[in-house]
Amino acid sequence: AAAYCTGLLIARRTLQKLGMDELYTGNEEVTGEVVSCEVGSESNPNKTKTFYVEEVEDERRPFRAVLDVGISTTSTGNRVFGALKGATDGGLDIPHSEK
């Protein structure tokens, strides 16, 4: 629970510092599902890009972060995944899967 709250706090503070907290509010209801949307490229209409946020605004794309677990063991229940879920629920765009 503490790792989730830390990820959520980091996400909200990052978006607030960049002035994007009004555009990307994050998940209001936490259900445990992976939220994503696909947006077509303007230069190439056949190519789509997946963003892990509710909806992508036209004026600014979401802040994308990459999870680097380092030497931590990536086993089920690791705290790093709690922080990942908190950050994505907070409105950051972090590529991930449900596995």
Question: Among residues 50, 35, 14, 16, which one has the least CA distance to residue 89?
Answer: 35
Whole-prediction pTM: 0.74
What's the DSSP call for residue 57? -
Question: For residues 88 and 10, is the Cβ–Cβ distance under 8 A?
Answer: no
pLDDT in tens, 22-61: 888 877 777 767 676 677 766 666 777 777 676 666 677 7
pLDDT value for 3: 92
Structure tokens at 58: 């036209």
Report the C-alpha gap between 11 and 83 in whole angstroms: 10
Where does the pLDDT of residue 99 fall: very low under 50, low under 70, confident under 90, or very high at 90 and above? low
Residues forming beta bridges with residue 47, ordered by sequence position: none
